[in-house]
Amino acid sequence: MNKKFVLSIFIVAIFAASCATLKIDYSQISVPQEGGYQFRQITYEDQMIWGPKVINNAGKLQWFTGSMFDVSDDGNLIVYVGVTSADQTVGNIYVRSTGGGRSSVQRTFGLSATGPGFSPDGKSICFSGIFPGQEKSNICMINTNEGSAIQHLTESQPGMATAPVFSGDGQRIFYTRGLPVTTYSGTTPITTWTYSIWSMDKNTSIATQYVEGSSPEYVPGEKLLFTKSNSTTSQGEIWMLDLKSGQETLIQRDNVRGFSTPKISPDGKRILCVGSSKGARPSDSNLDIFVVNIDGTGFQQITFHPGNDNSPCWAPDGKSIYFLSQRGNEKGSYNVWSIDLIK
C-alpha cells in the first residue's frame, strides 16, 4: 500500500507506554474472560484478509479508525480487503457469502483499496481507493455483483478521503477527509493531519462538510456517530452529531482508553466500537470490541483476546456481531469472526 496513504489515515490514540516486545499467543480462539461466547470463524488464513494495522510507537498506539470490512443488511454477504499472495502490497475488494465455503469474488483490480461498505440495498459497495499514478485517495463506488466500472466521487477534492458509509436512503456517502498541515520548527517542516466529516451526494455531486472527526456512521433520523480526538487526553471519543440542528453529543469518553469506529445496532439502541485494553504490563495494550447504549450507559467490554479485535459489524437481527480478529492462528493473521451477544 502507498506509504503516504498509510500514514495519513492513522488517527493517533495514546495509551500505556512501553518499548518492550512480548510474544503474543495468537493461536488461542478465546480467553477465560470471554467465557460463554461461542466464536465462529468465517474466513481463513488462505484468504489473506487485511485488517487495520496497529502501530506501537514507544507505547503510543496508532490505527486506522475506519472499518475494514462490512456485512450486508440482509446478512448474506461480507466485503473485505485482501490479497491473493503474501507478496502483494496492494489490497483489493472481495465479496463472499456469510453462509460458509471459501469462495470469494474479487471486485477491484490494480488499485489500493480500503474501507469497503455496502449500500442499504446491497447492490453497491463504496470504498476508498488510490489509483495507479496517484498519491491521494478518493471515495469510489462499484457494483457488488457484476461489472468492473468504478465511479469516482471525490476525485476533484484535495486530501485523503477514507472510511465511507452510505446514508439510510443510499443517496449520500459520508466519509473522513484528511488534510495535511505543515508548520516549521526553525527551518524543519513538520506535517500533521486534520480530519473532518464530509458527505457526497451521488446525484448532484455536492460535497458538504460537517464536523472535525473521523469514521462516520449514519444513524436513522439524520444523525451521525463519529470519532473525535480529545486534545487534552489524546484519546479517541465517540460522539453523535444531529445533522439537522448541528448539535454534538458525547457518547463515550475515558481518560485511559481511546475509542473509534462506532457502529449503530439495527434497533438504534446500542453502539459497537473499538477501544484499547490495558494489560498487566504497558506493552500488553491492544484493541478490543466494546458495546454501549446510545445514551452512554451500559458500557461493556466484549472481547479480551491479546491480539487485536476491530472493525465490528452488527448482524441484521442485532443478536450477533462480526469483527476482524487476529485470534485462532499462530501468525496473528486477520480473519472475520462472529459471536452471539446473548450467552
- On whether the CB atoms of residues 77 and 98 are closer than 8 A, the answer is yes
Q: What would the pLDDT profile of 94-114 be if each residue is shown by its tens digit? A: 999 998 777 899 999 988 999
Q: In whole angstroms, what is the distance from residue 170 CA to residue 172 CA? A: 6
* SS3 labels along 108-168: CCCCEEEEEEECCCCCEEEEEEECCCCCCCEEEEEECCCCCCEEECCCCCCCEEEEEEECC
Residue span of the structural domain in which 266 resides? 3-340
Question: What is the residue type of 288?
Answer: D
Q: What would the pLDDT profile of 218-274 be if each residue is shown by its tens digit? A: 999 999 999 999 988 888 999 999 999 999 999 999 988 899 999 999 999 999 999
Q: How many distinct structural domains can be found in the chain?
A: 1
Identify the CATH number of the domain in which residue 118 sits. 2.120.10.30
Residue 283 phi/psi, 5-degree rounding, is -75, -5
CA distances from 308 to 249, 271, 316, 327 (A): 28, 19, 24, 8
Q: In whole angstroms, what is the distance from residue 241 CA to residue 174 CA? A: 13
- Comparing 10-14, 115-119, 150-154, 270-274, the range with the smallest average pLDDT is 10-14
pLDDT of residue 58: 58
| Percent of the chain whose predicted confidence (pLDDT) is above 90 | 69
Instruction: Answer yes or no: is pLDDT of 3 > 50.
Output: no
pLDDT of residue 17: 26
Q: Which grid cell sits at 96?
A: 463472499
Question: What is the residue type of 116?
Answer: P
Q: What would the pLDDT profile of 265-309 be if each residue is shown by its tens digit? A: 999 999 999 998 876 666 678 999 999 999 999 999 999 999 999
Instruction: Answer yes or no: is pLDDT of 90 > 80.
Output: yes
Q: In whole angstroms, what is the distance from residue 336 CA to residue 78 CA? A: 9
Quote the mean pLDDT of the chain: 89
Instruction: Answer yes or no: is pLDDT of 18 > 90.
Output: no
